[in-house]
Structure 1
Amino acid sequence: MPRPRSLAPDQLAATALAVIDREGLTGLSMRAVAKELGMSTMGLYRYVRDREELERLVVELVLGAVDTGPPDPAAGWRERITVMVRRMRDAVGAHPAVVPLIIAHRHRSLGVLRWSEAVLVVLDETGMAGERRVVALRALLGHLIGAIQLEHLGSLAGAGTVAISELPPDAFPHMAATARTARNVDADREFLGGLAILLDGLEGLTGPGTGDR
């Protein structure tokens, strides 16, 4: 493969993402990306300073697919938050191995900042502010990231659920029973059910008197 004469950041990110999708995050290296591009490892350093910069490009490419425009203003705040969370889940869920990179680079990622800003606009309209708004945003991010990791990177479905359901009932009666029930709960129901529980809790933090406390 001839060496590209010039490479745009999106080209580098797309190539690195292809490596991650195929080989997992452990397969990402400057050498692997350079090989994919048909160039030397040292040649790749003409375009990015180091792996960290390459990781940030990947994060922005993945999160660039997230629509951060405001949801239907006629919808209730819960519905709008759900739309925003599902948008992020769909984009990141298409490349789940990137989740650790999003966590590592979240404070510098324009994609994360834009999504968070859109969510905070909705939370602000409910009257939620100060410490409670901080906790609400982080709780939503925590559910989102954790659910994606469980679904794609550490799922207990399939063989894992079967193994737990067969635990000794005298020692783990609740775990065994829960695992048997879990066989009939798909990823969407689990994700949206958990989000609904979280939003139920956040609803108590909305309205007058829910400011900086």
Structure 2
Amino acid sequence: MARPRKPLLSRERIVTVALALVDSEGLTAVSTRRLAAELGVSGPSLYNHFTTKDEILDAVADTVIAQVDISMFEGGEDWRTALLEWGRSYRAALTAHPHIVPFLAQGPGRRPAGLRMADAVFGGMVKAGWPPAHATRIGALMRYFVAGSALGSFARGFVNDAGAYDPADYPHLGQAHLLAGHQEQVDEGAFETGLRALVAGLDQLYGEDAR
């Protein structure tokens, strides 16, 4: 019986394994040597598909951004609804892969999915009536807000130990040790509150310009 063939090395397979490494161990775990070992190939064979480690990370980052829904900017939705829906989808993609967020924070560079997202958001906001300068700032503002919220958990930042919060020192943190047990409620609620406040604030301050 013939032995099963080893799957052919491809860009997609390299990116899939690299993303799994980033998710499980962080950005520093990704090296050409480690990837080659995980893929069961020789190191030089990776260079048939990528010339540098940063090219691999670019492809990983773009794979994550490709998961973000941007259709609301092309479907004629009200700009307020579009920002809310996009912000939620954007954060969902980043929180699923939080270790790639610092790399994504550098901006889209030449990454196709990142550029498509920037183009859709900018184009959608300008089409809604926002001046180009404001549309640019709104895109930047949303990126700062979403990326920051995906970097870590506020709730998990408090230890589950009531003794760590002596009321003599921290009179208002008597329930802080319970936060970690309500991570989703706290973190998701905080993001939703901030997102709605951000969009409402834009509408109140500048909405007349976009109507």
User: TM tier, shorter chain?
Assistant: 0.7 to 0.9
Per-residue deviation, residues 54-87 of structure 1 (Å, max 9, x unmatched): 1111112222222322368574321111111222
Asked if the contact 2:74/2:124 (under 8 Å) is kept, the reply is: no
Asked if the contact 1:99/1:145 (under 8 Å) is kept, the reply is: yes
Asked if the contact 1:19/1:32 (under 8 Å) is kept, the reply is: no
Question: C-alpha distance in 2, partners of 1:89/1:165?
Answer: 34
Q: Which amino acid aligns with 2:19?
A: L
**Aligned pair count?**
203
Q: Report sequence identity in percent.
A: 27
Q: Which amino acid aligns with 1:207?
A: E
Question: C-alpha distance in 2, partners of 1:178/1:116?
Answer: 41
| Structure 2 SS opposite 1:186 | helix
Q: Which amino acid aligns with 1:205?
A: Y
- In the TM superposition, residue 132 of structure 1 has moved relative to its aligned partner by 2.2
Q: Of residues 112, 130, 133 in structure 1, which corresponds to 2:132? A: 130
Deviates more, 1:36-45 or 1:102-111: 102-111
Match of 2:19 in 1: 17
Match of 1:38 in 2: 40
Match of 1:86 in 2: 88
Match of 1:156 in 2: 154
Question: C-alpha distance in 1, partners of 2:104/2:53?
Answer: 14
- In the TM superposition, residue 112 of structure 1 has moved relative to its aligned partner by 1.7
Aligned pairs for 1:111-150 within 5 A: 111-150=113-152
Structure 2: tracts of 5 or more residues without a match: none
Q: TM-score, normalised by structure 1?
A: 0.79
- In the TM superposition, residue 166 of structure 1 has moved relative to its aligned partner by 5.7
RMSD of the alignment, in Å? 3.1
Match of 2:60 in 1: 58
